[in-house]
Structure 1
Amino acid sequence: MSTDKAHKNTAASVEALTRRWVNTMVVGLNLCPFASPVVRQETLRYAVVESEDTRLACKAFVDELLVINQANERDIATTLVIFPNAVADFYEYLGLLDECQRLLNQANLEGVFQLASFHPGYLFAGPPEDDLSHWTNRSPYPMIHIIREGQMEQVLKHIDDPEAIPERNIAHLEALGRDKLIELFPPFKDYC
């Protein structure tokens, strides 16, 4: 989603669209094996960072890292930190992601939390830009998912062949095709 378009959105509308994406794409298509329980139990925190400044975005990320670290996982299992007004450019976003990883490490929380990345213009190295594989990590806004490693390990114990999840997701999206994905989540037509 373009930065100009994002400026017209309120934090509430950004959260609402992100919730819709999570419910339709992530949970609805079962792209993430542990998303459904945290959505159902309402333990997924949505943190909208309205600043355009990447320094302030990093500060907000650290603040959210502290919130989830201090929270009981029954209250906040995981957090999506959403940046609707910053890092519209995917490569700038990757810089922010690297800095957030550095901040996670600096806080001595590597191994406690891990980060997953999502962006409207997400591109994996290798596949052509129009390849549907990119859509596994495309979201309505740039965001960083803070995941509790302990919870992920517990969930993955109950999943056959967890290493195959990315390939399974790509195959599923390719089987659906671009038009069906846009039908499921119409905002994709704006940025995919």
Structure 2
Amino acid sequence: MSDLPRLAPQTDDVVIARTRQWLERAVIGLNLCPFAKAVYVKNQVHYVVCREAAPADVLEVLQTELLDLQASPAETRDTTLLILPDALSEFLAFNDFLYPADKLLRKLKLSGDLQIASFHPDFQFADAEPDDIGNFTNRAPYPILHLLREASIDKAVEAFPDAVQIYARNIAALEALGAEGWAALDVAAYPAAGPHPQETK
């Protein structure tokens, strides 16, 4: 399991680069989300690195990004990845944070327009063991709040009528890949023992 508090400091550019690499190699490369490639290749994914550590401060940044996404044209910003390299490193704390995050969505009266998905380095389904390969469908190099437009989700589901089968297909793909195959993708955050190669360039 990851140990984010011991990670070496990484610049925002490196955090975004690692996140993009995870998108390219895992989410798109393994086709874990068939909807992701279209917005990625059109540069419609907006990346925000939040350096706040306290949940209350993260919530303020989340509010800003939700309102900014709603106000932005979908053609230029279809979705936002709010990346949290310095906060909520413990998965249970991150999972608890999702309740006030959804409460904020309702308070802003954005339910039905936007929704919040989540990824975490130690993501674990409630009925799964920590090392179950299925957990990796929702694992990312950093805690991430994924802000999505409901309208875009509806369009994507129309384009992929077998959307309900995505989860089962992802589990099968990860089981075929195995833990070693996932590790070979190199989509985890780098530990403190060695800097990311991009940091030395």
Task: Give the superposed CA RMSD.
Answer: 1.5
Structure 1 stretches of at least 4 aligned residues deviating more than 2 Å after TM superposition: 1-7, 185-190
Evaluate the alpha carbon distance shift between residue 100 and residue 186 of structure 1 in structure 2; reply closer, same or farther with a 3 A threshold.
closer
Structure 2 unaligned spans of 5+: 192-201
Aligned-pair CA distance for 1:79? 0.5
Aligned-pair CA distance for 1:168? 0.7
Alignment partners' CA distance in 2, 1:186 and 1:137: 12
Alignment partners' CA distance in 2, 1:91 and 1:165: 25
Alignment partners' CA distance in 2, 1:106 and 1:178: 41
Alignment partners' CA distance in 2, 1:186 and 1:120: 10
Match of 2:15 in 1: 14
Q: Is contact 2:18-2:189 (8 Å) kept?
A: no
Q: 1:33-85 CA distances to partner (integer Å, 9 max, x unpaired)?
A: 21101110001011110111111100000110011010000010000111100
Task: State the secondary structure of the residue aligned to 1:128.
Answer: coil
Alignment partners' CA distance in 1, 2:8 and 2:93: 18
How many residue pairs match? The answer is 190
Evaluate the alpha carbon distance shift between residue 174 and residue 96 of structure 1 in structure 2; reply closer, same or farther with a 3 A threshold.
same
Structure 1 unaligned spans of 5+: none
Match of 2:85 in 1: 84
What percentage of aligned pairs have identical amino acids? 34
After TM superposition, the score normalised by the length of structure 1 is 0.94
Alignment partners' CA distance in 2, 1:53 and 1:148: 26
Question: Which amino acid in the other structure matches residue 168 of structure 1?
Answer: R
Q: Is contact 1:6-1:85 (8 Å) kept?
A: no
- Give runs of aligned pairs for residues 157-172 of structure 1, distance below 5 A: 157-172=158-173
Instruction: State whether structure 2 residue 106 is matched by structure 1 residue 105.
Output: yes
Aligned-pair CA distance for 1:3? 3.5
Instruction: State whether structure 2 residue 145 is matched by structure 1 residue 152.
Output: no
Aligned-pair CA distance for 1:6? 4.4
Instruction: State whether structure 2 residue 191 is matched by structure 1 residue 183.
Output: no
Match of 2:94 in 1: 93
Q: Is contact 2:114-2:148 (8 Å) kept?
A: yes
- Give runs of aligned pairs for residues 12-161 of structure 1, distance below 5 A: 12-161=13-162
